Amino acid sequence: MNRRLPRIIAGAAVLAILLTLGILLIPPYAANWRLESYVNDLADDPAVAKLPPDVVQARVLNQAAGLGLPVHSDDVHVAIHQGGVRIDVLYIVHVNLAGYAIDLHFRPTAGG
C-alpha cells in the first residue's frame, strides 16, 4: 500500500492542475465562441449590409463588452461590399497563472 501512495498523490496533483487550468482557460474560450456566433449572425443579416461600418463596429464592441472581452475599436474591422459584410475581430486575452502569464489570441471573422 505504501508504494501506491506517491502515485495517488502525483495523480491527484496532476488532476488538480488540469482542473485549475480548465477553470482559468475555459471562460475566455466560451466568451469568444459567443462573440464569434454573434459576429456570424451579424454578417448573415442582409439588413446589416445597409448600415454604416461604424454602426456595425459599435454593435460588435457592445457585444464584446457585455461578454467581458477586452475588445477595442482598433480591434474590429468592418468592410461592406457588394451587399455583404465582412467583420474581422482580433483581440488578446491575458490569463495569469501562478507566476506565469498566457496571452490567448482570438480572431473571430465572418462574411465574405
pTM of the complete model: 0.84
Q: CA nearest 104: which of 51, 33, 55?
A: 33
pLDDT classification of 45: cutoffs 50, 70, 90: very high
Position 112 scores a pLDDT of: 76
Position 47 scores a pLDDT of: 92
Residues 84/112, Cβ–Cβ less than 8 Å: yes
Q: How far apart are CA 71 and CA 8, in angstroms?
A: 43
Residue 83: is its pLDDT beyond 80? Answer: no
Phi then psi dihedrals of residue 84, to 5 deg: -125, 170
Mean pLDDT of the residues in the chain? 92
86 forms beta bridges with 79, 111
In 3-103, alpha helices (H):
5-44, 53-66
